[in-house]
Amino acid sequence: MVLTKPPMDLRILLVDDQPSVRNGIRSLLGSRPEWKICGEASDGQEGIEKARALRPDVVLMDVSMPRMNGLDATRILRRELPGSKVVIVSQNDPLIVSIQAREVNASGHVAKQELFGTLLPVLDKLVGRPRPETAARCSSTTSARALPEWLMGSGELGLLIGRFDWSKTPLGAIDDWPQSLKTSVDRMLSSQHPMWIGWGPQATFL
């Protein structure tokens, strides 16, 4: 099911009781300036109240929360606000998350351990936006080979990192990065928690 609103108007409500998860999602969505976070909630009941008031296009809904869990909240939102799509975001096993999302008629699902690699593609699919992998397949083989092997399979952010011209930064060309820097970036990409490093004499922020 594809949203009828154009991506420029996408408004997102975050519902999660963990501030670190909300911070991580905000960081991820920062790469989509046309997508706006219109509100945040820390439990299912508050999420329903804010959804009623804000009428978001998409609700990112955690499952395990106080007062009301995300599955019960999703059932209510699907009944009361059918125009708002709900994406289940859970720390459960991805297979269980898939089953939970189907049972409550959610529009999508993301496992928290895969958040940084799958959230943006799931939202892209909802709004009918081509995935970066699709764009990469349409590019020349020379461009496809330009992505460093150690970034393969690291999701959209990995693609952005691999294709960025780092030679104009204090870090230098990505092909010349030391293994310790590659390992640090790889750990950040695979982590389900927000992370940052300051690298080199100028403490370049990543």
Q: For 18-41, what is the mean pLDDT? A: 88
Q: For residue 107, give the H/E element and its range.
A: none
CB 171 within 8 Å of CB 204: yes
Q: For 49-54, what is the mean pLDDT? A: 96
Cβ atoms within 10 Å of 99's Cβ, excluding its own: 12
Q: For 170-179, what is the mean pLDDT? A: 89
- Please determine, for residue 136, whether its predicted confidence score (pLDDT) is greater than 50: no
Give the phi and the psi of residue 6 in degrees, each rounded to 5: -70, 150
User: Which residue segments constitute the domains of the chain, with CATH numbers given?
Assistant: 7-126 (3.40.50.2300), 132-196 (no CATH)
- Please determine, for residue 107, whether its predicted confidence score (pLDDT) is greater than 70: yes
SS (H, E, C) 38-99: EEEECCHHHHHHHHHHHCCCEEEEECCCCCCCHHHHHHHHHHHCCCCEEEEEECCCHHHHHH
- Please determine, for residue 38, whether its predicted confidence score (pLDDT) is greater than 70: yes
Q: Which of 12-16, 111-115, 121-125, 140-144 has the highest mean pLDDT?
A: 12-16
- Please determine, for residue 60, whether its predicted confidence score (pLDDT) is greater than 80: yes
Higher pLDDT: 6 or 10? It is 10
3-state DSSP assignment of residue 197 = coil
- Please determine, for residue 131, whether its predicted confidence score (pLDDT) is greater than 50: no
- Please give the share of the chain, as a percent, with pLDDT higher than 70: 86
